[in-house]
Each structure stands twice: as structure tokens, then as C-alpha cells.
Structure 1
Amino acid sequence: MKAALHSRRRSASRSLRTALCSAAVSLVPMLAHADTTLYVANVGGSNEQMYRQKIIPAFEKAHNVKIVYVAGNSSDTLAKLQAQKGHQQINVAVMDDGPMYQAMQLGLCAKVDDAPVMKDLYPLAKLGPTAVGVGMVATGIGYNEEAFKKLGLPAPDSWQVLTDKRLKGKLGVPPITNTYGLHTLVMLARLNGGGEKNIDPGFTAMTKQVAPDVLSWAPTPGEMDGLMQAGDVILAPYGSGRAVALQNTGFPLKFVYPKEGGVALQVGACAVAENAQPQLSQQFIQFLLSPDIQAVQAPGDRPWTGQPDRHADARGRGPCAVRPRADRQADRDGLDHGQSAPRGMDRALEPIGRTLSDAST
């Protein structure tokens, strides 16, 4: 009797040990997955939705990693990188070109690893040894076409429309902590005899001619979209990519490259210096440059909106980085006007991010 009882106890003990071991083994992949997290800082809004739905899941599956998307304006991301220097929580930073150049100058970005995809980049996308361009958009003017027709206003074609008194109380302008707002300030400076390195005429025009008529200085693109959709704002400086997203909702937004020129805005990416996941950070950037992911970022049937139609539908929020396969046979093939830029990119879309960064230092 005692022997039988002892045998049953040993059997139960073995079963318990087996069950515990099996449970422990089954937890290993889950723990490994939970322990590997990549923090990617990028802008919010429609761009965040695209990343969450079409980009992040594929990378997570391929690399058995969890990505945390840290949404915020580029200036906010730069401030976080500066505050966390030496104890970085962000692994990959995706920012507009101006803040990205500042991050590079401050030593916040690690050297870009060499990889086959880097050989396929347009020269324009090679921002420097520590960052690469992953997309290109442009800053211009967005307006509510139906509202303009109801008010009998002509379609805008110039940055000067921001000073039109008929728009009083219906005008939105992003603050200069937002790249679209900073570009607007630069264009106002240029229209008044200044420029990136002589910005005072821009501040004068902004404060005296534009500000009195502004309803909202919405700090994020999402807030500006909301004001547009509510009918409170009928015109504002806009990015071409944001315009695409709003147009896709059915809203009657028209996007204009002003006759004085739009402003090219390159989106850059870098692996944050001294971050906890250096290899994964580099792999994520290479993933963003892969042809499939570049195609995800370039909806529509062409990568660029041509200058001849200034009242375009703003198709094409990227890519700028990777050359089409046919263009890789020769460095200059596919480049217009002798410029290091993708085919179809008009000279009126002038990149000013590096100049702004230089002027601020």
C-alpha cells in the first residue's frame, strides 16, 4: 500500500515537473519577443497610420521585434534626443531635413552602415555619413476649393495670398516649430528682400501682414486638418503628403505649388547614437529604403506632382531615396536639369533644410 502511494506521488511529481518545464520552454519565445523592442520616432497623423498598417508589421515579423511608434513633430523628436543624450530611449529617428541636419551636427546620429541598398540612393538622399533621406514632400498652399467658390475668391497661386485681407479669420498658419510654418516664414522673407540668412523681413511680414488675420496657429498637421474639415480654416500652408491624405477622405482640398516656388522637404532617418539596438536600427532604415517600402510611401501613378499643373492633386509624397532600376545604369540617367534629384522634381521645389540648419548655428 505504502509502495503504491509512494509510486503515485513520484508520478505526480514527475508530471508536475514536466508541465512546469513545458510551460517554461513555451514562454521563452514570448519573453524574447517582449524583450526586443525598437522605438521609432516619427511624425503622427496619416504618416503614422501608414507606418502602423503597412510598414511596421512586416518588419516586426521578419525580425521578431516589437516596434513602439513615438509620434511627434520633428522639433519635438530633436528635443527628446538632446534631453536623452547618453541615455537614449529612441532607437531610430525620422525627421524633416532641418531638424535632422541639427541632430547630425550635435552628434546625435550614428554612422550609417554600408548596405547594398545604399548604392541605389539618389545623391540627394545622402544627407551625410550619419543620416539618409527616405522620402520627399513639398510645402505649398492648401485651400478649400468649395469654400473659395462660395466666397467668389480666385484660386490662389502665390505665397502672397497669406496677406489677403479677404481671408481674415479663415486663415491657418503652422507655428515655426513646425517645418511647414518655418518654410512659410522663409518664403515670406524671400518675398520681402530677405531669405534663410536674413530672416527679419519674414518676421516683419508674418507679424504685421499675416498674423492679424490668422484664426489658428495649429501646431500639428492633424489639428490643421480638423480645422479645414470643420470649415473654420479655408487656406493654410500645407505639405503635399498631408494634402494627399486629406484629399483621400473626399474633402475638397486643392494643393498649390505657388508661382514663387514650393519648398522641397526631405524626410531623413538616422540610427540614434549609442542606442540600445544599433543593429536593428540600421536594419530598419535599410528596410525603409527597400523598393517595396518606397513604393508603399508613393501612392498614385507617378512619384512626383509636376510643376506645370500648379493646382495639382498632390499625388506623390515620396519616395525620393531609391533610384528606379533603369536609372541605376548611369549616375546621371533620370535626373532633370543636371540636378541630383529624381526625375520629375521641378527646380521650383527648392530644398532649404541644410541652409536653415547652417543659419541657426
Structure 2
Amino acid sequence: MAAYTPDRRQILAALAASAATPLAASRGFAQAPSFSGRKLVSSGFGGSTMDIIQSAIFTPFDKESGAASTQVPMQSAAALARMKAEAGNPQIDMFQFSGGQEAYAKEEGLSQPLTGVSRLAKIPAGLKDPDGHWVTWAVIAEGIVYRKDKIATPPTSYKDFLKPEYRGHVAFPTITNGYGMDFLVMLARAFGGGEDNIEPGFAAMKQIKSETIFKAASDLPTLFGQGDIWIMPYDTGNTFKIQQSGLPVAFATPQEGSPAVFITACIAKGAKNADVANAAIDAMLKPEAQIEIARTMRWTASNPETRLPADLAGEVPAVDKLAQLDRGKINAMRAAWTDRWNREIAR
């Protein structure tokens, strides 16, 4: 699809708009043409998450650019299936993923390189596609969630799950939960192994296999609410939700790093509104937008230029505190490790 090129009247209109609205110019849209009357369709994650993203990113973007953005609720796997089904004639311009589907989309020729995303250069290499097909605009950081009224000194390491004083008060997710798999890998890393040597992870997990094993995030409020569970591996977003319910929990970044779950954006190949999507992705990378996402969902900012306020800095790990796992190696070993976990750990 040819790149969008504004004609002379559009350029003059954009310049007039930027001169009349200095606030918009100061927030990063002065150099972009007006998208007045243009529509942008993006996939979204549904529920309150989609509503928060709309309020923090798309609504301000629409106000400043003149576009009209809509999110279609669907989880990442369904979004990829939709992307494949509409290959050659995409009805959704832009896709958001949280499970690595953006890499598959590139490999299958379903996405196109980002163009005109001025902040793309600021994003660390590990958080974007080397060919520019996708970018991580936020990160869900995993780590240690604990009850402040039971553990006065914040935990500092995955090794802390083996402390004798926590015996009987630990919970961790089953390996079929992605966070359970990541917990196994981080235990291995903490005790000298990793993706290439998972033995230390299984050895450590065997020491706590009699503790509480749960299935999903929906179990967290009950586990912490009953008072017997003091510590578990999970993420910043769910920690925030539990805090909002009134429970005295906090998040700690382990010294081994916080495993990163990328929240990415890419554009469908042949998207009719690719130019609008590129501008929207640029807006996602704005420090102001990333601060708002950190405040409302406790997701980590991907742009290193984002400076979180003091009240957030202690609850949301900085991008340089993230631990990037080798998802390729993990996926290759997932079946074997799951089988072993079921034999040696599961009850």
C-alpha cells in the first residue's frame, strides 16, 4: 500500500491548526497532518483494560489529531486469527498483542514496517522488531507479591520463596499458567541455571511443592484475603487490583529482574489507515501516556525517557530492571517441562 501523502490543502490546514492550538503542538502532534474525519480500528484486550487504554491513549490521540479511534475487544490469540483471516483485506488497521503473536504476524507476512513513529528510535532494541514491524509500548512486569502486614522487610530475590520463616505461607501458579512457567525459569536463574539448565529450578521447586499451587489470577484475592498466604510470584497489574480491594499487598522487584510480558502494537499489511495507526503508536510511546498507563494499571513504560512520579517509581519496575526471558527456548521445552512438572511437582 502506498504511503499516505497529504496534499497542499491538508498541509496548510494542519499548519493552521497547530498555530491555533499551541497545547497540541507542545504534546507532539505539531508535525503530523490532521486526521480529521479519519477512522482507526484497533484490536483491544476487552474489559476494564481496554477502557483504560482508550482513556489514556486513544481519546487524547483522537482529540489532538482529529481521528476517531475504535477498539474491537479480543484476546491476543483471537486477534491473530482475525489478522490471518483478513489477510489482503484487513478490516482492523492495528493490532495489540500480549503473547508474542506479533513475531508470528511478521513471519507470515501479515504486518508491515512502522513508518513515521518518531519515538521508535528511543525504544531499547530488545523491545522492538529489528525490522520495525512491531514495538513494545508497555510491559507487564512479574515479580514478588507479598502481604506487608506479614512480611515487614520487602523480599529481594526468588530465593526468598525458600526461606524457612515463610513455610506454609507460599503460593505459586501451576505451570500451565504462563507465570508458573516463568517462576520455574527464574528459580533456575536464581540458583545458577536458566533456560539452558532448568535443573536448579526443579530442585528449588521441589522444596516448596507442598505449598499452595493455584491456577489463575482470579484466585489471588481469595488466597491473600484468607490471610494464610503471604508471598507469591505474580505481576504488577494484579497487585494493583488487589490493593484496590483493600488488601495490604505490595510488589517487589527481585534482584534477578522482573520477567517481562510485552504489550505490543503492529499494523496489518495493507491497512487502509496505516498512517493514522503509525501516529497512534507514536502516541502510545509518549512519556505522558506511559505515565498514565503506569498510574492506572501499573504497567512498566517501554520508553526509557519516561520518568515516573515518586509515588509510582517504587511500584512499577523501570525498563532497565526487566529480565527478558528466552521465549523461544522456553516454548521449545514447554511440553517436556510441563510433563516433568506434572510428575514431580503437581499433587
Alignment TM class, shorter chain as reference = 0.5 to 0.7
Report the Cα offset of residue 142 of structure 1: 0.3
Q: Please, which moves more after superposition, 277-286 or 117-126? A: 117-126
SS in 1 for 2:115: coil
Report if aligned partners of 1:174, 1:237 keep a CA contact under 8 Å in 2. Answer: no
Matched, 1:145 2:143: no
Deviations 1:304-327 (A, max 9, x none): xxxxxxxxxxx96432226369xx
Deviations 1:164-188 (A, max 9, x none): 685547514265553x333212112
Percentage identity across paired residues of the two chains:
24
Specify whether residues 224 and 106 from structure 1 end up closer, same or farther in structure 2 by C-alpha distance, changes over 3 A only.
farther
Give the residue type in structure 2 aligned to 1:234.
Answer: W
Matched, 1:183 2:182: yes
Consecutive unaligned residues of structure 1, counting only runs of 5 or more, are 1-32, 301-314, 326-342
Report the Cα offset of residue 344 of structure 1: 6.2
Structure-2 separation of matches of 1:215 and 1:177: 11
Q: What corresponds to 1:171 in structure 2?
A: 171
Report if aligned partners of 1:186, 1:196 keep a CA contact under 8 Å in 2. Answer: yes
Give the residue type in structure 2 aligned to 1:145.
Answer: K
Consecutive unaligned residues of structure 2, counting only runs of 5 or more, are 1-36, 308-316, 333-347
Matched, 1:115 2:117: yes
Matched, 1:283 2:256: no
SS in 1 for 2:183: helix
Report if aligned partners of 1:163, 1:210 keep a CA contact under 8 Å in 2. Answer: yes
Q: Equivalent residues in 2 for 1:1-361 (5 A)? A: 36=39, 38-42=41-45, 47-61=49-63, 62-70=65-73, 72=75, 77-78=76-77, 80-82=79-81, 84-87=83-86, 91-96=93-98, 98-128=100-130, 129-148=132-151, 156-163=155-162, 166-168=166-168, 171-173=171-173, 175-178=175-178, 180-191=179-190, 193-199=192-198, 202=201, 206=205, 208-218=206-216, 220=217, 223-225=219-221, 227-229=223-225, 231=227, 233-247=229-243, 250-274=246-270, 277-299=273-295, 317-321=299-303, 323=305, 346=320, 349-352=322-325, 355-357=326-328, 360=331
Report the Cα offset of residue 199 of structure 1: 4.0
Structure-2 separation of matches of 1:181 and 1:167: 19
TM-score (norm 2): 0.63
Report the Cα offset of residue 223 of structure 1: 4.9
Report if aligned partners of 1:172, 1:224 keep a CA contact under 8 Å in 2. Answer: no
Structure-2 separation of matches of 1:144 and 1:176: 25
Report the Cα offset of residue 356 of structure 1: 1.7
Report if aligned partners of 1:60, 1:67 keep a CA contact under 8 Å in 2. Answer: no
Q: Please, which moves more after superposition, 91-100 or 279-288? A: 91-100
Q: Provide the aligned length of Structure 1 versus Structure 2.
A: 282
